[in-house]
């Protein structure tokens, strides 16, 4: 039986670890050809090896800094030159500084805006003409932080709320071209990127205490949601956000 993404060309950013790696493995298992990228050369190469060992199709570029528009274009054009089209763009990569307003430097703020917000726009802009040609799906990784916020998350909440808003605009502007745009808001996901925050005293217990599902999320939870949103099964879903958070936002 064919997979949910059979024959699709899927660009996934941040495939060196975490949700990007889980997404690459899952998308490939569902029949997609994955074109990944990451700043982490070794991590991205390891993901490619894992996908290929499992019988999937994946290749990509690293290091790629998506905060640089020229590098965004290089990644996108590499995919188009190799496969002739793009069917799915998952804007997953991000990096942010967590600090209170008092402690957050302007440099750290600018870093967060560049690497959690500007790169989503830059990569989408680079891919936009190709998506407009044949239609496709844009998935943006937002966060429960975009629906609210707490101490130390000023930059993260700001950027992810902006990603939610950008997704609405992408859906509206993309609709005439057959483009669907959606976002996923992960809750507390156990990834290398969240390890520092989860290691803070009491952090895990606090998050588990607010969740209806008595565990932290896994990268695979997000990957499964992304497969659905990218597939034809979700053809009537656009301009919306999917909370994958164990009930954290609505019941925490």
Residue 63 lies in a domain: yes
Residue 3 inside a domain? The answer is: no
pLDDT values of the chain reduced to their tens digit, one per residue, 252 residues: 679 999 999 999 999 999 999 999 999 999 999 999 999 999 999 999 999 999 999 999 999 999 999 999 999 999 999 999 999 999 999 999 999 999 999 999 999 999 999 999 999 999 999 999 999 999 999 999 999 988 899 999 999 999 999 999 999 999 999 999 999 999 988 877 665 666 665 566 666 667 888 888 899 999 999 999 999 999 999 999 999 998 888 775
Question: What confidence score (pLDDT) does residue 122 get?
Answer: 98
- Residue 10, class by beta-carbon neighbours within 10 Å (0-12 exposed, 13-18 middle, 19+ buried)? buried
Helices (H), the chain: 18-29, 41-53, 69-83, 106-113, 119-134, 154-174, 195-198, 203-210, 219-230, 248-251
Range of the domain at 211: 9-244
Task: Please state, in angstroms and rounded to a whole number, the distance separating the CA atoms of residues 176 and 156.
Answer: 32
Residue 155 covered by a domain: yes
State how many domains the chain has.
1
Is position 125 within any domain? yes
Residue 92 belongs to a domain? yes
Question: Which residues does 169 contact at the CB level (< 8 Å), separation at least 6?
Answer: none
Asked if residue 160 lies in contact with residue 146, where contact means CB atoms within 8 angstroms, the answer is yes
**251: in domain:** no
How far apart are the C-alpha atoms of 57 and 51, rounded to whole Å? 7
Residue 132 lies in a domain: yes
Could you tell me the CATH number of the domain that includes residue 93? 3.40.50.720
Predicted TM-score (pTM) of this structure = 0.94
Tokens of 219: 């990268």
Rounded Cα distance between 93 and 65, Å, is 10
């Amino acid at each position: 039986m064919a997979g949910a993404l059979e024959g699709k060309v899927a660009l996934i950013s941040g495939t060196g670890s975490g949700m990007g790696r889980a997404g690459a493995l899952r998308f490939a298992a569902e029949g997609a050809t994955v074109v990944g990228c990451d700043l982490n050369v070794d991590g991205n190469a390891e993901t490619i090896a894992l996908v290929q060992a499992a019988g999937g199709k994946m290749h990509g570029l690293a290091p790629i800094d998506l905060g640089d528009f020229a590098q965004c274009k290089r990644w996108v054009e590499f995919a188009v030159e190799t496969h002739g089209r793009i069917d799915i763009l998952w804007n997953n990569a991000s990096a942010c500084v967590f600090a209170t307003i008092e402690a957050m430097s302007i440099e750290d703020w600018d870093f967060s805006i560049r690497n959690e917000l500007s790169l989503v726009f830059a990569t989408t802009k680079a891919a936009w003409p190709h998506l407009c040609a044949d239609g496709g799906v844009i998935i943006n990784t937002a966060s429960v932080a975009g629906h609210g916020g707490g101490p130390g998350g000023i930059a993260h909440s700001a950027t992810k709320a902006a990603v939610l808003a950008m997704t609405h605009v992408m859906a509206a502007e993309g609709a005439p071209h057959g483009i669907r745009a959606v976002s996923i808001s992960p809750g507390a996901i156990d990834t290398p990127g969240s390890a520092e925050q989860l290691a803070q005293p009491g952090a895990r217990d606090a998050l588990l205490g607010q969740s209806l599902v008595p565990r932290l999320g896994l990268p695979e939870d997000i990957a499964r949601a992304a497969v659905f949103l990218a597939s034809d099964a979700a053809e009537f879903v656009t301009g919306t956000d999917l909370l994958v958070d164990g009930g954290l936002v609505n019941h925490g």
